[in-house]
Amino acid sequence: MSRGIVELCEAFQRKFNPSATERGTRIANREIGNKVKELLEAKKLDPMKVSFRTLFESLVGPISSRELMEAGNLASSAFPNIAGQIISKVLIDGYTEFPKDVDQLCRTVPSKLKTSRVVGWSAIGFVQQVNEKEDYPEIVPPEEKMQTIKNLKYGGLLSLTREDIFFDQTGELVDRARMIGQRGAQKRAALIFGVVCDGAGVPANGTGLSGAAVYTAGNKNLKTANPLGTGGWETARKALYDMVDEQGEPIWILGDRPLMIVGSTLLAPAQKLQKNEHGDLGTANLDVNLAAGQFDVVINPYLPLTSSWWYGAPQRQFRWEEVWPLETFTRVGQDTEEGFNADVIQQFKLSFYGGAGASDYRYVIENDPV
């Protein structure tokens, strides 16, 4: 596999750099990087079958040769372009392949602000009866309301060191890149879970609604002494359907499929309630289980010991404000202080920028057992 990439580099140098100029080298290297990206996306190139040592020695020179470790020799070769494409692809794959259950809980909305201002409207005036020959009444326009969501940048670095190449640790490097991508996706999921569950189980502080708690008695979306079960589900469902807007009109979520969010402690009871035909949580009770098939379950892994649960239509009120999605960058390590001090050949950066928050409080009910 590595030999084939080297042959590709030689062919591209002949095609795009016949005069062996510095400009031609840059063009050829850029085109080589694009081709490697194309092969990776088409799954015709397996990162695990590439030897970075073979590539380095073929494109730059012997790893033990001091003069060939200088920045100019490395930067002018095709090696950084190829390594950058391979590691970037693995980072992104790790991020995108991570389970996306959390995306059922929010909408992803583009943003260009450090603090997103989520513009909403209070309920518009009523549509009224119009008698014959009467003028149509002017409907009172809604008042603008605003919620804010703070957006932050997240990311990290992965270094390709001289030792990685010398000991041909390509597989370990690829595995680290994939795990970093997964960690990035997990961080985003934790931020969303922290807002949806009002800080329960994650390093959040219950400030998902413009700095205030989402679930409060005043918001009528917090039910205490309501443990999970048939009776608890009926109470949560009624509380959800009883929610009204500023004009006293029902919020109208009859077309939404509700979600129940639980930690691992309540996962089995939630699934029994979701699937059992009779009884309360699998007992001998032969009453019809009205909750069967009425909702889907999402597990919040940050709530292993929590007996609280949430029920409703979270996508109606929670948002992930995306300033920029996952991006990857690379630079030649020999140009940096880390390159000189720690034999870093190349660095790769993963970055995403965003924030989770609530635009309303009426569409999800928090239920506490006590």
Domain locations along the chain: 2-97+156-192+323-357, 196-321+359-367
pLDDT digits (tens, 9 = 90+) for 169-179: 889 999 999 99
Q: E strands within the chain?
A: 107-110, 115-121, 144-150, 152-161, 222-223, 259-262, 296-299, 309-312, 318-332, 344-358, 364-367
Residue 352 · residue 179 · CB < 8 Å: no
Span of 119-133, 195-209, 326-340 with lowest mean pLDDT = 119-133
> Could you tell me which residue, 271 or 126, shows the higher pLDDT?
271
pLDDT digits (tens, 9 = 90+) for 197-226: 987 766 556 778 888 889 999 999 999 999
Quickly count: other Cβ atoms within 10 Å of residue 172's Cβ. Answer: 11
Q: How confident is the model at residue 121 (pLDDT cuts 50, 70, 90)?
A: very low
The reported pLDDT for the residue numbered 11 is 92
Quickly count: other Cβ atoms within 10 Å of residue 291's Cβ. Answer: 22
Q: Give φ, ψ of 291 to 5 degrees.
A: -80, -15
Q: Average pLDDT in the 344-351 region?
A: 90
User: Which percentage of the chain shows pLDDT scores above 90?
Assistant: 51
Residues 6+ apart with CB under 8 A from 188: 102, 154, 320, 352, 354
Span of 138-152, 309-323, 348-362 with lowest mean pLDDT = 138-152
The reported pLDDT for the residue numbered 362 is 93
> Could you tell me which residue, 272 or 338, shows the higher pLDDT?
272
Which tokens sit at 136? 């149509």
Q: Average pLDDT in the 1-10 region?
A: 86
**Total residue length of the chain:** 370
| Pairwise CA distance, residues 233 & 290, whole Å | 9
Q: How many contiguous H segments (helices) and E segments (strands) does the chain have?
A: 10, 11
Q: Average pLDDT in the 325-329 region?
A: 91
Q: Average pLDDT in the 229-252 region?
A: 90
Span of 181-185, 228-232, 284-288 with lowest mean pLDDT = 284-288
Angle in degrees, CA 143, 149, 151, rounded to 5: 150
The reported pLDDT for the residue numbered 186 is 93
Query: Residue 207 class from Cβ within 10 Å (0-12 exposed, 13-18 middle, 19+ buried)?
Result: middle
Residue 267: pLDDT over 90: yes
Q: Average pLDDT in the 255-267 region?
A: 94
pLDDT digits (tens, 9 = 90+) for 47-105: 999 999 999 988 888 877 665 555 557 778 899 999 999 999 999 999 999 998 999 99
| Pairwise CA distance, residues 317 & 106, whole Å | 7
Query: What mean pLDDT is reported for the chain?
Result: 85
Residue 5: pLDDT over 60: yes
Which residue shows structure tokens 């969501």?
149
The reported pLDDT for the residue numbered 334 is 63
Which tokens sit at 1? 């596999």
Which tokens sit at 235? 């109470």
The reported pLDDT for the residue numbered 105 is 95
Residue 59 · residue 77 · CB < 8 Å: yes
Query: Residue 89 class from Cβ within 10 Å (0-12 exposed, 13-18 middle, 19+ buried)?
Result: buried
| Pairwise CA distance, residues 176 & 179, whole Å | 5
AA identity, residue 23: R
Quickly count: other Cβ atoms within 10 Å of residue 114's Cβ. Answer: 12
Q: Average pLDDT in the 287-316 region?
A: 92
